[in-house]
């Protein structure tokens, strides 16, 4: 199995999801081949919950990574779980049109380009 997918599955096990019990793991590969992981971290208010994909991006940025090639997202669902809208926005702004690899616990995998999951994104070009 791909190291990126394995890292996402392992990150899922570290999720803090006491309210929804919906554990998600993410693994983001930077241009140097390093893997940065994240898991969802829930909060009792739900609105302050952080998704696994955003945790991985923010960790990678805080560690100095600035260019990325792909992200894997792991969840325990029969229909593979894509990033939510907020995560798609963050991924677009920080990673661009990366490959998005979705995986479940049975090993089912689907691959997409972010532009196909997030057509016509809002980015810095609109802020000027």
Which residues form the catalytic set? Answer: 53
**Strand, coil or helix: 53:** helix
C-beta pairs of 44-49 under 8 Å, 24+ apart in sequence? 44/19, 46/19
> Which letter does DSSP use for residue 37 in this model?
E
Sign of CA dihedral 76, 81, 44, 89: positive
> Which residues fall within 8 angstroms of residue 11, CB to CB, at 6 or more apart?
25, 26, 27, 37, 38, 39, 52, 56, 74
Pair 8, 72: CB distance under 8 Å: yes
């Amino acid at each position: 199995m791909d190291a990126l997918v394995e890292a996402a599955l392992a990150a899922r096990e570290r999720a803090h999801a006491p309210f929804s019990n919906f554990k998600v793991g993410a693994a983001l590969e930077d241009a140097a081949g390093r893997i940065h992981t994240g898991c969802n971290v829930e909060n009792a208010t739900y609105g302050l919950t952080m998704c696994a994909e955003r945790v991985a991006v923010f960790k990678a940025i805080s560690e100095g990574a600035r260019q990325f090639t792909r992200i894997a997202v792991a969840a325990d669902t029969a229909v593979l779980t894509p990033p939510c809208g907020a995560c798609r926005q963050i991924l677009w702004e920080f990673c661009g049109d990366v490959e998005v690899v979705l995986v479940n616990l049975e090993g089912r995998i689907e691959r997409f380009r972010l532009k196909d999951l997030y057509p016509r994104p809002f980015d810095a070009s609109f802020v000027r």
